[in-house]
Amino acid sequence: MASPAPLVASISHQMVALQTLQLLQQEWGWGDGPGDPGIPRDSDHVSAAPARRTGPRRARPGPGRQEGVGGRGARNGGSGARASSPEVEVVRGAEGGAELLPFPRGRGPCTLAQMAMRSALARVVDSTSELVSVEQTLLGPLQQERSFPIHLKDSVEFRNICSHLALQIQGQQFDRDLNAAHQCLKTIVKKLIQSLANLPSDAHVVACASLRQILQNLPDI
């Protein structure tokens, strides 16, 4: 029986990336309501992986409160440390490290560019959720029966890109990181399809079809 360890490790990195992206959606107010494009179609897709839990959301400053009062820097020590400015907050990542996430400056009307960015982020979140589901339900049993290549470094890179994306405020660097995450996710899916190409079983055909469907949901941006 082949070891599932590489696949399990790959899924773990993808789950960290997924959690980061979902938290980013929440921070920008892009995942608040049912049917919102910022929420994956099936919220129970990866319920077996607890890393999707993003924890409670913090209260947003009211209209009468001044931002940045006090001038103190971020307290980096201890659990739950926060930056004094409401524009950023220090939160604990899935692996225990601190991450800075952008805080929305306002809820004004979205520009066309913001709407496009919101849609692109939602596609990456949704496709990552779909990928993890396919890996857990279809590729996991296949890997136990017969070994096939898992390119772990791509999932590590995807996690790192998403972590860097979460540090950006809307702008050119955010767009570049989002595009990089999009392309890296496509690379992961394509390499999985290639790895499964020579497996002689009906299960691999089903898995490949599911992976190709994910690629269709990731058009170039």
Which residue would you say has higher pLDDT here, 120 or 78? Answer: 120
Tokens 């009211």 appear where? 62
pLDDT by residue (tens digit) across 95-148? 444 344 444 444 555 688 778 888 999 999 999 999 999 999 999 998 888 889
Residue with tokens 């898995």: 207
Residue 53 has pLDDT above 60, yes or no: no
pLDDT in the model for residue 76: 41
Contact 4, 143 (CB under 8 A): yes
Structure confidence by residue, pLDDT tens digits, 17-51: 999 999 998 887 765 433 343 333 443 443 333 34
The model's pTM is 0.66
Of the candidates 94, 95, 204, the one whose C-alpha atom is nearest the C-alpha of residue 147 is 204
**φ, ψ of residue 101 in degrees (nearest 5):** -115, 140
**Per-residue pLDDT at 188:** 98
Residue 200 has pLDDT above 70, yes or no: yes
**Cβ–Cβ < 8 Å for 89, 151:** no
| Per-residue pLDDT at 89 | 41
Residue boundaries of the structural domains of the chain: 1-28+112-220
Pairwise CA distance, residues 27 & 34, whole Å: 16
Instruction: Give the pLDDT confidence score for residue 74 in this predicted structure.
Output: 40
Average pLDDT over residues 179-186: 97
